[in-house]
Amino acid sequence: MAKKTLGVAMIGCGSIATHRHAPEAAAHPQVKLLTLCDPVLARAKALADTFGGTPCADWRAAVAQPAVDAVVVACPNYLHAPVTIAALQAGKHVLCEKPMATSAAEATAMMAAAKASGKTLMIAHNQRLAPLHIRAKQLLKSGILGRIVTFRTSFAHPGPEGWSVEGVGGWFFQKEKAFVGAMGDLGVHKADLVRWLLDDEVVEVAAFVEAIAGKRQSDVDDNAICLLRMASGAVGSLTAGWSHNPGCDNSTVVYGEKGILRIDTDPVYTVIVELADGERQLIKTKAMQTNDEGGQTDSGIMATFVESVNTGKCPIPGEEGAKSLAVILACLESAETKRFVSVGSVLAGV
Ligand SMILES: NC(=O)c1ccc[n+]([C@@H]2O[C@H](COP(=O)([O-])OP(=O)(O)OC[C@H]3O[C@@H](n4cnc5c(N)ncnc54)[C@H](O)[C@@H]3O)[C@@H](O)[C@H]2O)c1
């Protein structure tokens, strides 16, 4: 039987909508872009001209449209919860960008709205879908490294000025709209990645989350250096930065009792395994997505979302986004209180 076409409303027509969600939606045989929404109507019009659909300026009107089956939330972080909840309450499926929300209370309300509606809520943690991470996870699952002892993971680049359509001084740099800086923009990707990659949970953190580079007019952090303890006992570090210049560090290294696994540390071999007995595996996969021209499409996010709607089984539901958000919230609390913080306590209070 032919699958039902999903009519999609895109809320936010900035960079991630332009470079990932709209092209992936337009390329998907089961998706029809119906509504492109942005208060800067020219941005909505530009996307509609390229990918089809009708521009609109008001997200409340967009999510209420009867023909819309699913909503992609690709606007500034402070709008993720209100847009997602309104869309779920209107009976739409939702694909929401990261970080899922700006607080544990918001994340909890989003999960409750998904449960009440029976619709799919997926969080766009695309790093889980990248071929190099899938290959690395297969290797770790095979037990090749034995028990995992420590790890380090990093996501850092010069900053979102050259990426966001709002550029210098835009919403990414305003606490009331972003709620957090590099830690929420990039750190949440790696918090989610290590949880998924190691099949483990972060239970305790200690962190510096600061505007260390201090090169911009902004009230959010530009660097975060965090220590994470996992439920298994493994300990690792997470770095998020908006001052690595030039280039981008999107790497992860896992140290086990039998060897080391390196992800995205080499320009040719995206996954490298070095075992204590001298064996080496040099593996080439498709490279990690980048902010370079054309570097964001084919992430697998839209295809995974559509499959989740079709099957009713979502691999990255709100619950997963909330656990990764909780790591960020715990790191912020640790940085503020100068204490170790239990991640469980962050979600438990809601
Ligand atoms: N998963 C990823 O790899 C990834 C990468 C980049 C951005 N993101 C996330 O995507 C979201 C958008 O980021 P971006 O890079 O596209 O930012 P951007 O600054 O390029 O675009 C944001 C857009 O949202 C619009 N907007 C503002 N208020 C709105 C409203 N009330 N209704 C509808 N639209 C509104 C702005 O006008 C702008 O066009 C953020 O949450 C960000 O964290 C995720």
Q: Give 188-219 pLDDT, tens digit per residue.
A: 999 999 999 999 999 999 999 999 999 899 99
Under DSSP, the state recorded for 69 is -
Amino acid, single-letter form, for residue 28: H
Query: Mean of the pLDDT values across residues 257-278?
Result: 97
CA–CA distances in Å: residue 132 to residues 150, 182, 271: 20, 23, 6
Domain ranges of the chain: 6-126+298-316, 127-289+325-348
**Span 305-341, pLDDT tens digits:** 999 999 999 999 999 999 999 999 999 999 999 999 9
Q: What is the largest CA-CA distance in the chain?
A: 62
Whether residue 157 has its Cβ less than 6 Å from ligand 1: no
User: Pairing between strand 93-96 and 121-123?
Assistant: parallel
Q: What pLDDT does residue 137 have?
A: 98
Q: Is residue 264 over pLDDT 70?
A: yes
**Per-residue confidence at 293, pLDDT binned at 50, 70, 90?**
low
Whether residue 185 has its Cβ less than 6 Å from ligand 1: yes
Assess contact for 295 and 162: CB atoms under 8 A.
Answer: no
- CATH assignment, 127-289+325-348: 3.30.360.10
**Per-residue confidence at 3, pLDDT binned at 50, 70, 90?**
confident
Q: Is residue 289 over pLDDT 90?
A: no
**Span 98-129, pLDDT tens digits:** 999 999 999 999 999 999 999 999 999 999 99
Q: What pLDDT does residue 347 have?
A: 77
**Span 20-38, pLDDT tens digits:** 999 999 999 999 999 999 9
- Residue-wise over 141-159: b if at least 16 C-beta within 10 A, else e? eeebbeebeebbbbbbbbb
Q: Is residue 350 over pLDDT 60?
A: no
Please indicate whether the domains covering 6-126+298-316 and 127-289+325-348 agree at the CATH topology level.
no
Query: Mean of the pLDDT values across residues 61-81?
Result: 98
Q: What pLDDT does residue 120 have?
A: 98
**Span 164-186, pLDDT tens digits:** 999 999 999 999 999 999 999 99
- Using alpha carbons, select from 24, 14, 79, 1 the residue that is nearest to residue 303: 24
Q: What pLDDT does residue 128 have?
A: 98
Query: Mean of the pLDDT values across residues 69-85?
Result: 98
Q: What percent of the chain has pLDDT over 70?
A: 97
Q: What pLDDT does residue 287 have?
A: 87
Query: Mean of the pLDDT values across residues 247-254?
Result: 97
Q: What pLDDT does residue 349 have?
A: 59
Q: What pLDDT does residue 297 have?
A: 65
Give residue for tokens 């609109």: 56
CATH topology of domain 6-126+298-316: Rossmann fold (3.40.50)
Separation CA 73–CA 191 (nearest Å): 21
**Of 21, 38, 56, 325, which is best to mutate to test ligand 1, by the most ligand atoms within 8 angstroms of its C-beta?**
38
* DSSP three-state, residue 233: coil
**Of 10, 13, 16, 193, which is best to mutate to test ligand 1, by the most ligand atoms within 8 angstroms of its C-beta?**
16
First vs last C-alpha separation in the chain: 43
Q: Residue 225 corresponds to which tokens in the numbers above? A: 């250096």
Ligand 1 centroid to 184 CA: how many Å?
13
Separation CA 29–CA 34 (nearest Å): 14
Ligand 1 centroid to 102 CA: how many Å?
14
